[in-house]
Chain A
Amino acid sequence: MSEMKKIKNLKEFSTSADRFEGANLLCPGCAHSIIVREVLNATNDDLVLSASTGCLEVCTAVYPYTSWDASWIHIGFENGSTAVAGAEAMYNALKKKGRLKQPDRNPKFVSFAGDGASYDIGFQWISGCMERGHNMMHVVLDNEVYANTGGQRSSSTPIGSSSTTAPSGRISYGEKKNKKDMVSIMAAHQIPYSAQVAPNKWKDMVKKIQYGMQVEGPVFINAVSPCTTEWKFDPKDTMLLTDLSTDSLVFPLYEIIDNHELNITYRPKNIVPVEEYLAAQGRFKHLFKDEYKYLIKEWQERVDAQWDYLNRREEARV
Chain B
Amino acid sequence: MAFDKMELKDIEVWDGNFAAAQALRQCQIDVVAAYPITPSTPIVEGYSKFLADGYVEGEFVMVESEHAAMSGCIGASAAGGRVATATSSQGFALMVETLYQASGMRLPIILNVVNRALAAPLNVNGDHSDMYLGRDSGWIQFDAYCPQDAYDLNFIAFKVAEDHDVRLPAMIHQDGFMTSHTAQGVHTLTDDQGYGFIGDFKPMNDMLDFEHPVTHGVQTEEDWHFEHKARQHNDLMTKVFPKIQAAFDDFEKLSGRKYNLVESYDMDDADVCVVCLGTSVETAREVATEMREKGIKAGVVGIRVIRPFPFMEIAEALKGVKAIAALDRSSPNGAPGMLFNELAGALYNTADRAMLSGYVYGLGGRDLTKKHLVDLYTELQANVDAGKVTTQLQQFIGVRGPKLSFL
Contact = CB atoms under 8 A, between A and B. Distances in A.
Interface in B75-105: 75-81, 83, 97-98, 101, 105
Which 5 A-B residue pairs are closest in the complex by CB-CB distance?
Answer: A86-B75, A79-B71, A83-B75, A90-B79, A128-B64
A128 B63 contact: yes
Interface string A182-223: 000000000000000000000000000000000000000000
Given A78-B67, A128-B64, A93 B219 contact: no
B218 A48 contact: no
Interface of A: 46, 48, 50, 57-58, 61-64, 66, 68-76, 78-79, 82-87, 89-94, 96-97, 99-102, 105, 107, 124-125, 127-128, 131-132
Contact of B219 (A62, A68, A76): A62
A91 B67 contact: no
Contacts of B219: 57-58, 61-63
For the side of the interface on B, what is the size category?
35 or more
A87 B79 contact: yes
A105 B209 CA distance: 10
17 contacts: A71-B208, A72-B215, A73-B75, A73-B78, A73-B216, A75-B75, A75-B217, A79-B68, A79-B98, A86-B33, A87-B75, A89-B33, A93-B31, A94-B30, A96-B59, A101-B208, A131-B64
Given A85-B72, A86-B75, A90-B30, A75 B57 contact: no
B207 interface: yes
A76 B98 contact: yes
Contacts of B404: none
Nearest to B65: A124
A71 B61 contact: no
A35 to B, nearest CB: 20
B214 A75 contact: no
A254 B33 CA distance: 34
Contact of B76 (A62, A72, A74, A87): A87
B218 A86 contact: no
Interface in B34-79: 57-59, 61-65, 67-68, 71-79
Given A76-B97, A90-B80, A107 B208 contact: yes
B97 A89 contact: no
A214 to B, nearest CB: 19
Contacts of A50: 75
Contacts of B64: 124-125, 127-128, 131
Contact of A74 (B65, B218, B224): B218
Contact of B59 (A92, A124, A127): A92
Interface in B201-229: 206-211, 213-221, 224
B76 A71 contact: no
Contact of A61 (B67, B80, B217, B224): B217
